[in-house]
Amino acid sequence: MARLLEQTPQEFAARLRAAGRRRAYLVRDETGGYRPSHPLLAELADYLATESPDCADHEGFFFEVGRETGALYAACLHKTVRGQAQGGLRHWPYQRMDAFVRDGLRLSRGMTRKSALAGLWWGGGKGLIARDPGEATCDINTQRQLYREYGSFVSSLRGCYITAKDVGTTPLDMLEVFHTTRFATSVPPEVGGAGNPSPITAAGVVCAMEAALEFLDLGSLSGKTIAMQGTGHVGSAMIPMLLEKGVARILASEISAEQRWALESAYEGQPLELRAARPGETEILAEPCDILAPNALGAILDPKSIASIQARIVCGSANNPLVDDERDGRDLHDRGIIFVPDFVANRMGIVCCANEQYGHLGDDPMVRRHLDRSWQGGIHRTVKRVLESSRGSDLTPVASANRLADELAEEPHPLWGHRSHEIVRSLVNDRWDDGDPR
């Protein structure tokens, strides 16, 4: 039998069910190791404690197999000192469990840093649904069942994790999640939510681009060439903003033929060139440009791809674009390429839905101030502060941003600090994994 991390998520789910379980977890213990709820997860516990470079201060990893769908669901909690673990729900065709687990670890840690640096009272979390790579897009009823099952899973965690929209999910998917849990954001306005955060996330990335150009004394976006990897929800929303700023050219790669056709039709006659791309293709990263915007999935900047970059600035919406923060951040820095840390540039998604539980304003000043150049805590000033701290020092921009965010992540919520940690403890004490057998 294959080692756990080499199995597909579907094989792991089948093993759980064969062991008479639908739920399992790993939680951090007092020694800094990870306690598995079942011997089946012992290998994963060892991996987290001794081998994983992405595991740092994670508090728990919860798994559930859908009762009707058989899909594998997960919620990964990083540091929750500032508040409940919050992070989007990613629905993706993971080939192996190591990729599934790694995404949860990397993205939840990124959410801790993103929220802390944005001044939000959230901890870091990530939700995952493993889509079967061999299956075609499921029908609407199966899709509805999938997301409602995930919502029930989130409800069972008692609020230690708050879910939201991410890659592979839409506001309508979040509405289905919302049917079975109140611990969800990015839900449609008709049920009291802020809706799709992609447009304002795009505005934040464009703001970060302008700050980086200003740092380098390169003027405005007018006349610049932008290369974009991916034109999904955020990338496509960036296009009209960049055109309005007077960019000379946008060169974008996109996997979906339908999306390429739609954008070509919408911007006919505009300086936008779309290229077909295959999954995993990185040729767009080598295009000569002023700003390179990684807008697809993360972990695409490594020594090989960085060596091909011909941009002065790397600034996009993708989470965790560096394969290794220290190594790849240093490589970019040594080549004189300005890297704007992703969790600084793309913060507006979490900012947009951070205060949903306190009501929704059409033009919320608490949200808009993050785009205000004059506000010390805004994206523009934060980018400048991070880049200035690395100028003339041995710190790379990503190291500077990480250090600042990690310091802020240690500040406890004024009312609910460590609340999620206490909830996790209660789940363990109440034998959460026994609560809903197969």
Q: H-helix or E-strand containing 249?
A: strand 249-254
Residue 343 pLDDT exceeds 90:
yes
- Regarding whether 58 and 160 lie in a shared domain, the answer is yes
What is the percent of the chain with per-residue pLDDT over 70, rounded to a whole number?
A: 96
- Regarding whether 230 and 126 lie in a shared domain, the answer is no
* Cα(81)–Cα(394) distance, integer angstroms: 29
Instruction: Please list the alpha-helical segments (H only) found in 245-373.
Output: 257-266, 303-308, 325-334, 342-345, 348-354, 365-368
Whether 136 is in a domain gets the answer: yes
- Regarding whether 342 and 277 lie in a shared domain, the answer is yes
Q: What's the confidence (pLDDT) of residue 177?
A: 97
Lowest-confidence segment of 252-256, 284-288, 368-372, 433-437 by average pLDDT:
433-437
Q: What's the confidence (pLDDT) of residue 137?
A: 61
- Regarding whether 312 and 187 lie in a shared domain, the answer is no
* Cα(333)–Cα(401) distance, integer angstroms: 14
- Regarding whether 308 and 297 lie in a shared domain, the answer is yes
* Cα(127)–Cα(135) distance, integer angstroms: 21
| pLDDT tens-place string over residues 8-52 | 999 999 999 999 999 999 999 888 889 999 999 999 998 888 766
Give one word for 299, left, alpha or beta, with left for phi > 0 and alpha for psi -120 to 50. Answer: left
- Regarding whether 315 and 179 lie in a shared domain, the answer is no
| Total of domains in the chain | 2
- Regarding whether 238 and 172 lie in a shared domain, the answer is no
CATH number, domain at 95? Answer: 3.40.50.10860
Whether 72 is in a domain gets the answer: yes
State the average pLDDT over residues 257-274: 97
- Regarding whether 329 and 251 lie in a shared domain, the answer is yes
C-alpha angle 170-67-137 in degrees, rounded to nearest 5: 40
**Residue 107 contacts residue 321 (beta carbons within 8 Å):** no
Give CA separation, 209 vs 159, 234, 305, 329, 398, in Å: 35, 14, 21, 18, 15
Confidence of residue 422 (pLDDT cuts 50, 70, 90): very high
Catalytic (active site) residue 245: no
- Regarding whether 171 and 29 lie in a shared domain, the answer is yes
**Residue 62 contacts residue 157 (beta carbons within 8 Å):** yes
Confidence of residue 281 (pLDDT cuts 50, 70, 90): confident
**Residue in the structure block whose two tokens are 């081998």:** 51
Q: What sign for the dihedral angle of Cα 397, 290, 243, 211?
A: positive
* Cα(281)–Cα(267) distance, integer angstroms: 24
Of residues 126, 165, 245, 384, which has the active-site annotation? 126
For 75, the 3-state DSSP assignment is: strand
Lowest-confidence segment of 192-206, 228-242, 256-270, 398-412 by average pLDDT:
192-206
Q: What's the confidence (pLDDT) of residue 99?
A: 93
Q: What's the confidence (pLDDT) of residue 73?
A: 98
| pLDDT tens-place string over residues 4-18 | 999 999 999 999 999
**DSSP per-residue codes, 151-178:** HHHHHHTTTSEEEEE-TT--HHHHHHHH
CATH number, domain at 365? Answer: 3.40.50.720
Confidence of residue 300 (pLDDT cuts 50, 70, 90): very high
| pLDDT tens-place string over residues 103-151 | 999 999 999 999 999 999 999 999 999 987 766 566 788 889 999 999 9
Mean pLDDT of the residues in the chain: 92
**Looking at the chain, how many residues does it have?**
438
Lowest-confidence segment of 72-76, 90-94, 210-214, 222-226 by average pLDDT:
90-94
- Regarding whether 256 and 331 lie in a shared domain, the answer is yes
Q: What's the confidence (pLDDT) of residue 436?
A: 61
- Regarding whether 147 and 27 lie in a shared domain, the answer is yes
- Regarding whether 426 and 307 lie in a shared domain, the answer is no
Q: Give the domain extent around 282.
A: 198-401
Whether 412 is in a domain gets the answer: no
CA 233 to chain centre: 14
Whether 285 is in a domain gets the answer: yes
**Residue in the structure block whose two tokens are 């951070």:** 354
State the average pLDDT over residues 318-334: 94
Helix and strand totals (H; E) in the chain: 16, 13
Q: What's the confidence (pLDDT) of residue 438?
A: 46
Whether 409 is in a domain gets the answer: no
Whether 43 is in a domain gets the answer: yes
Whether 31 is in a domain gets the answer: yes
Confidence of residue 2 (pLDDT cuts 50, 70, 90): low
**Residue 419 contacts residue 80 (beta carbons within 8 Å):** yes
* Cα(239)–Cα(227) distance, integer angstroms: 11
CB-count burial class (<10 Å; 0-12, 13-18, 19+) for 376: exposed
State the average pLDDT over residues 347-366: 86
Whether 407 is in a domain gets the answer: no
Give one word for 181, left, alpha or beta, with left for phi > 0 and alpha for psi -120 to 50. Answer: beta
